[in-house]
Amino acid sequence: MTQKQKIALAPWVFTIGFFLLWEIGCRVFNVSSFVLPTPLSIGKAMWEYRTQLSFHSFHTLWMTFAGFAIAVVFGLGLGLLLGSSRIVHAGTYPLLVGFNAIPKVAVVPILVIWFGVGWMPAVLTAFLISFFPIVVNVATGLATIEPETEDVLKALGASKYDIMTKVGLPRSMPYFFGSLKVAITLAYVGSVIAEYNASKYGIGNLMARASADFNVPLLFASLIALAVLGVVMYAITAWIEKRMTGWAQRSGFAAN
């Protein structure tokens, strides 16, 4: 087997191994299914609740994508603004960092007061929690233009707008797409938190109800569904990143 094949096989081996150990551990130590169900019983629960799980997963996906979409537009815009004006950057940075430091769980009750229980808090929480890394990354991409590149263009009479569109924007794209992976995961966390606290639908809500009913297998089944969805969304954004900014990923270091 070549090194490459081994690397391709490794994730499967490790994942299956993890669940095997879990199953064996539970049986050997006779762990109560009320504390930690075995993977097999979780699998059974997933099959049993498949309609509920898929319905609520779909809802969570929607909330996540909606919040994420707003975050992308807003984050890109604000990042470009911050990256192109030092005054705006200096002025708004403390505010941004302060806002980002607030745990978003604390914001959900306020959103509920404003918009009531429903899809609004979920979408907005997803948005609020995920725009920050996009802003920071895009601003960084703009701020790290080589001074020589800027000199070459300025000596030709290029305007600030020219420099922004010819160099700044394309240059910040790898940073932007790189931040999407982080942002989508955060948006997902945001929508689940909001659903848990303030919604009638979504995996978060399903878990809240399962937890109230002490339905431990359903709770774990939901967790696994969350993990699978998270991996899928991460993979999609990683794939988009790779497609859009191939020129930035030419180094062998990143490829290995």
Partner 1 sequence: MSDAFVRLDHVQHVYGGEGGVLAVEDLTIAVKEGEFAAVVGPSGCGKSTLMKLATGLQFPRAGSVVVGGEKVSKPVKMAGMAFQNPVMLPWRTTLDNVLLPLEIVEPHRSRLRKEKAAYVEKAEALLAQVGLKGFGPRYPWQLSGGMQQRASLCRALIHEPRLLMLDEPFGALDAFTREELWCVIRDLHAAKKFTVILVTHDLREAVFLADRVFCMSARPGRIVAEREVNLPRPRDLDVTFSPEFAEIVHELRGHIREARNVH
Give me the residues that bind partner 1 (CB under 8 A), please: 146, 148-149, 151-158, 162, 166-167, 170-171, 173, 245, 247-248, 250
| Least spacing, CB of residue 144 vs partner 1, in Å | 13
Specify the residue, 4 or 250, whose C-beta has the smaller distance to partner 1. Answer: 250
Using CA atoms, how far apart are residues 94 and 87, in angstroms rounded to an integer? Answer: 12
Specify the residue, 108 or 163, whose C-beta has the smaller distance to partner 1. Answer: 163
What's the chain's Rg over C-alpha atoms? 22
| Least spacing, CB of residue 167 vs partner 1, in Å | 7
Helix and strand tally (H, E) in the chain?
12, 0
| Least spacing, CB of residue 134 vs partner 1, in Å | 20
User: Hey, CA dihedral for 124, 143, 80, 185, is it positive or negative?
Assistant: negative
Specify the residue, 156 or 212, whose C-beta has the smaller distance to partner 1. Answer: 156
Using CA atoms, how far apart are residues 97 and 139, in angstroms rounded to an integer? Answer: 14
Specify the residue, 23 or 162, whose C-beta has the smaller distance to partner 1. Answer: 162
Using CA atoms, how far apart are residues 232 and 202, in angstroms rounded to an integer? Answer: 17
Using CA atoms, how far apart are residues 86 and 89, in angstroms rounded to an integer? Answer: 5
| Least spacing, CB of residue 78 vs partner 1, in Å | 23
What is the token pair recorded at 100?
A: 């980002």
Helix intervals (H) in 85-107: 86-101
| Least spacing, CB of residue 149 vs partner 1, in Å | 5
What is the token pair recorded at 212?
A: 């109230």
| Least spacing, CB of residue 125 vs partner 1, in Å | 35
CA of 71: how far to CAs of 79, 80, 126, in Å?
A: 11, 14, 8
| Least spacing, CB of residue 159 vs partner 1, in Å | 9
Using CA atoms, how far apart are residues 201 and 196, in angstroms rounded to an integer? Answer: 9
CA of 18: how far to CAs of 12, 40, 42, 158, in Å?
A: 10, 13, 14, 57
